[in-house]
Amino acid sequence: MASEMMLHPAFLVLVGVVVLPLLPPGARGKALPLFPLGALWVCWNLSPEHNFSVEFLEYRLSILQVDRLSRIFGIVFSLIGFAGGLFALHLRDVRQQLAALLYAGSALGLVFSGDWLTLFLFWELTALSSTVLIWSRQGTGSRVGLRYLLVHLFGGGLLLAGILGQVHATGGIGLQLLEAGRLSSWLILGGIAVNAAIPPLHAWLADAYPKATVTGAVFLSAFTTKSAVYLLARVAPGWEILIALGVVMALYGVVFAVLANNIREILAYHIISQVGYMVAGVGIGTPLALNGTVAHAFSHILYKALLFMGAGMVLQATGRSRLTELGGLGGKMPLTLWLYMVGAFSISGFPLFNGFISKSMVVSAALDARYQAAYLLLVLASVGTFLSIGLKLPYFTWFGRGRPEVGVSRPPLNMHLAMGLLAVLCVGFGVFPSLLYAELPYAASYRPYTLPHLVESIQLLAATFFGFWWFRSKLAGQPTLTLDTDWFYRRPAGWVRRCLVDGVSRLFDRADAGILAGIGWLAPRFRNPTLWFVHGSEREQGPAISGDDPDAARPKLEFAVTLILLCVLLFTAVAFLR
Amino acid sequence: MKRWHWISLAAVMIGSLVLERVAVHHTSDYWWSHIPGLYGWLGLLGCIGIIVGSKLLGRKWLQRDEHYYDGE
């Protein structure tokens, strides 16, 4: 079994979590990318004959279950783990390094899980480890990290409830296709929807990702949403509701990205938009659509990480990430600009870039399956993608009015190297799509470079540019905040805290003070019962003592007589009653 | 944007429209697929629609002061 475990890509990365803290601080950053690199090698050589499982109570846990779907997600997760590690090579923060490795390892464990229990364990580990990447950013991370964690615990709760129902209904823990008639299927779908950022359960993404660390955001952009897409493709292909949800996602992200002012928030909203294509592809459910979903997840992980690296470099070099505080950086950061633009061309679907060869598969599959409205709306969403990521963000960050007051520090070489690696992959898969298509899980052929597709794309992109240039002044950043569905838990948070925390605390404080006052009143009276019979002023001052007469401090004769009389009355009453 | 940028962009656009006219045969039977320059129109009108619609939505409903949640 030990040798089998060694062949698990997640195991290799999780070993890094144990080994890394034992290394000298200076060597940790250099060692970080080696663990995902090892996992990449293992993933590449994995086949179904490597599957293994272990007995746990009365269940058999499928720790490693390999097929073409899990393998390609494993490959891209390992690849981005390596690229992210290279980007973070200079980092000296062991907390972030460990969180990144744990996050990558959990995501790998998740995609190779063959049963619900193993999957759930890794699902929760991704939530916990990714939260640390948000918390690690000083200043802004703590509150938003807590919101992020609570939302994911809610999603995990939904998933667990669904899994328990599923296990009860089927009698087994193996991953199976969800059946629409079961409540447990809908609960599982709800849990996945949280991680896939399907509206209205998406707001955590745009809330948290812009506030993560520079290197943490690269890892965040890759794993959580795409492992949810993997699970959707695994258990819910052909669920038509996903087509509508995917189209809504694609457009929702576009609209909110137009309103966003923070460059990493723009990118975050376009994760939602791009994942919308993948969710719609799962909903269409044909082999071409599912291949499109997988191919687009693969491409998206590469170019989105590249884009987050570019935006992170701007934040690192200038300390700023708001469009209203940026501009004219092209001359100061030319290499970052052009590497970012490779990612922007890719996400926008330019020919010869990887977004062109993957997004179009989903869009074509929608038309082939005769979902006309979905097709046209997905085309419209791709206009919005180019508008925000390819035009608005670079124009107002690197071009436009320069800001001489903005100082730019020189970024470490490894950050540019990581961006360069991803840029080469984006172009490489765009020029040679068969390299990706050969690894896709389903039997469907697709040719991206046809004359109609090229003509359509060129018209779409060129016309979008004309529209942008005409209306570009309206796209300038504004120092505002855009309300999203997190309003429903952020806005009442103060009110809920006042009622359920502050109010209860005040009540406890008052009860505490009341009890202490009561004890303060009772204690002297039980210590000296004569105080029950003296007036307040006398009690406060104590009995009047005159001269050296000791009798002055004793109780008066009337008091003793009264006590005796009371005792007599009491005993008489008791005797009568008996 | 320099003049040659605009000339190149216009040449690409016109070239794609000409190619569409003479060399592309749409196999799809939907009424909208026969609109000349459909994707150009989608790009231009879609872009303007997204900008205007989003800004309207933001100004009338969604945009607030940056410190809106500060008291939470």
Given pLDDT bands bounded at 50, 70 and 90, which one contains residue A537?
low
A298 by DSSP, 3-state: which?
helix
Share of chain A above pLDDT 70, in %: 94
C-alpha A6/C-alpha A75 separation (Å) is 17
Per CB-CB distance under 8 Å, the chain A contacts of B51 are: 258, 387, 467-468, 471, 474-475
- Can you give the pLDDT at residue A418? 98
Residue among B30, B40, B62 whose CB faces A483 most closely: B62
Residues A231 and A249 in one domain: no
In chain B, the N- to C-terminal Cα span, in Å, equals 45
- Can you give the pLDDT at residue A141? 61
Q: Which of A187, A190, A185, A279 is nearest to A232 (CA)?
A: A279
Residue with tokens 């679907």: A349
- Can you give the pLDDT at residue A407? 85
Asked if B47 lies within 8 A of A455 by C-beta distance, the reply is no
Find which of A256, A466, A470, A496 to mutate to test the B interface (most B CBs within 10 Å of its CB): A466
Residue with tokens 């004890």: A519
- Rounded to a whole number of angstroms, the distance from the CA of B52 to the nearest CA of chain A is 8
**Where in chain B are the domains?**
31-64
- Can you give the pLDDT at residue B47? 97
Asked if A380 lies within 8 A of B50 by C-beta distance, the reply is yes
Asked if B63 lies within 8 A of A483 by C-beta distance, the reply is yes
pLDDT tens per residue across span A193-222: 999 999 999 999 999 999 999 999 999 999
Task: Please report the number of interchain residue pairs, chain A to chain B, with beta-carbon separation below 8 angstroms.
Answer: 143
Given pLDDT bands bounded at 50, 70 and 90, which one contains residue A405?
confident
Residues A408 and A501 in one domain: no
- Rounded to a whole number of angstroms, the distance from the CA of B43 to the nearest CA of chain A is 5
Given pLDDT bands bounded at 50, 70 and 90, which one contains residue A139?
low
Per CB-CB distance under 8 Å, the chain B contacts of A461 are: 43
Residues A211 and A285 in one domain: no
Give the range among A46-55, A149-158, A208-217, A304-313 with minimum mean pLDDT: A46-55
pLDDT tens per residue across span A180-189: 989 999 999 9
Residue A262 neighbours by CB under 8 Å, 6+ apart: A210, A321, A322, A323
- Rounded to a whole number of angstroms, the distance from the CA of B58 to the nearest CA of chain A is 7
- The per-residue b/e assignment along B19-53, b for 16 or more CB within 10 angstroms, e otherwise, is bbeeebeeeeeeeeeeeebbbbebbbebbbebbee
Given pLDDT bands bounded at 50, 70 and 90, which one contains residue A441?
very high
Phi, then psi, of A46 in degrees rounded to 5? -75, 145
Give the distance from CA A465 to its chain's centroid: 32
Residues A437 and A567 in one domain: no
Given pLDDT bands bounded at 50, 70 and 90, which one contains residue A542?
low
Residues A163 and A243 in one domain: no
Structural domain total, chain A? 3
Q: Report the pLDDT averaged over residues B37-55.
A: 97
Q: Report the pLDDT averaged over residues A225-230.
A: 98
Quick check: A142 contacting B, CB < 8 Å?
Answer: no
**Strand A59-64 with B63-65, pairing:** unpaired
Asked if B47 lies within 8 A of A464 by C-beta distance, the reply is yes
Residues A50 and A138 in one domain: yes
C-alpha B59/C-alpha B67 separation (Å) is 17
Per CB-CB distance under 8 Å, the chain B contacts of A479 are: 66
Per CB-CB distance under 8 Å, the chain B contacts of A252 are: none
Share of chain A above pLDDT 90, in %: 82
Q: Which of A354, A352, A351 is nearest to A307 (CA)?
A: A354
Quick check: A534 contacting B, CB < 8 Å?
Answer: no
Give the distance from CA A37 to its chain's centroid: 24
- Enter the DSSP assignment of A59: E
Residues A200 and A271 in one domain: no
Residue among B20, B61, B66 whose CB faces A480 most closely: B66
Given pLDDT bands bounded at 50, 70 and 90, which one contains residue A552?
low
Asked if A255 lies within 8 A of B50 by C-beta distance, the reply is yes
- Can you give the pLDDT at residue A544? 54
Q: Which of A344, A462, A563, A274 is nearest to B10 (CA)?
A: A462
CA–CA distance from A89 to each of A84, A97, A132, A410, B61 (Å)? Answer: 9, 10, 18, 15, 43
Per CB-CB distance under 8 Å, the chain B contacts of A144 are: none
Q: Where are the alpha helices (DSSP H) in B1-72?
A: 3-23, 38-57
- Can you give the pLDDT at residue B46? 97
Q: Is the pLDDT assigned to residue B72 strictly greater than 70? A: no
- Enter the DSSP assignment of A136: T
Longest dimension (CA), chain B: 62
Q: Is the pLDDT assigned to residue B44 strictly greater than 70? A: yes
Asked if A258 lies within 8 A of B51 by C-beta distance, the reply is yes
- Can you give the pLDDT at residue A529? 74
Residues A44 and A149 in one domain: yes
Per CB-CB distance under 8 Å, the chain B contacts of A255 are: 50, 53-54, 57
Residue after which a domain boundary falls, among A184, A208, A236: A236
C-alpha A287/C-alpha A441 separation (Å) is 9
Quick check: A205 contacting B, CB < 8 Å?
Answer: no
Q: Is the pLDDT assigned to residue A528 strictly greater than 80? A: no
- Can you give the pLDDT at residue A553? 63
Asked if B19 lies within 8 A of A483 by C-beta distance, the reply is no
Whether the Cβ atoms of residue A82 and residue A422 lie closer than 8 Å to each other: no
Quick check: A140 contacting B, CB < 8 Å?
Answer: no
- Can you give the pLDDT at residue A228? 98
Residues of B near A (Cβ–Cβ under 8 Å) read: 1, 9, 12-13, 16-17, 19-20, 23-24, 26, 28, 30, 32, 37-48, 50-55, 57-58, 61-69, 71-72
Residue B40 neighbours by CB under 8 Å, 6+ apart: A459, A460, A462, A463, B13, B16, B17
Whether the Cβ atoms of residue A73 and residue A230 lie closer than 8 Å to each other: yes
C-alpha A160/C-alpha A154 separation (Å) is 10
Asked if B43 lies within 8 A of A460 by C-beta distance, the reply is yes
Residue among B51, B57, B69 whose CB faces A475 most closely: B51
Residues A219 and A352 in one domain: no
Asked if A466 lies within 8 A of B42 by C-beta distance, the reply is no
Residue after which a domain boundary falls, among A236, A256, A277: A236
Residues A244 and A374 in one domain: yes
Asked if A457 lies within 8 A of B39 by C-beta distance, the reply is yes
The one-letter amino acid at A193: A
Q: Where are the alpha helices (DSSP H) in A285-333?
A: 287-318
Residue after which a domain boundary falls, among A206, A221, A236: A236
Instruction: Choose between B2 and A309: higher pLDDT.
Output: A309
Per CB-CB distance under 8 Å, the chain A contacts of B11 are: none
Longest dimension (CA), chain A: 121
Given pLDDT bands bounded at 50, 70 and 90, which one contains residue A549?
low
Nearest CA in chain B to A371: B30
Residues A146 and A289 in one domain: no
Phi, then psi, of A481 in degrees rounded to 5? -120, 140
Q: Range of A559's domain?
A: 492-533+555-577
- Can you give the pLDDT at residue A536? 64
Q: Is the pLDDT assigned to residue A546 strictly greater than 60? A: no
Per CB-CB distance under 8 Å, the chain B contacts of A467 are: 43-48, 51
In a domain, A249, yes or no: yes
Asked if A455 lies within 8 A of B54 by C-beta distance, the reply is no
Per CB-CB distance under 8 Å, the chain B contacts of A471 are: 47-48, 51-52
Average pLDDT of chain A is 93
In a domain, A31, yes or no: yes
Q: Which of A543, A385, A459 is nearest to B50 (CA)?
A: A385
- Can you give the pLDDT at residue A539? 60
In a domain, A548, yes or no: no
Per CB-CB distance under 8 Å, the chain B contacts of A349 are: none
pLDDT tens per residue across span B31-42: 999 899 999 999
Residues A200 and A140 in one domain: yes
C-alpha A490/C-alpha A553 separation (Å) is 65
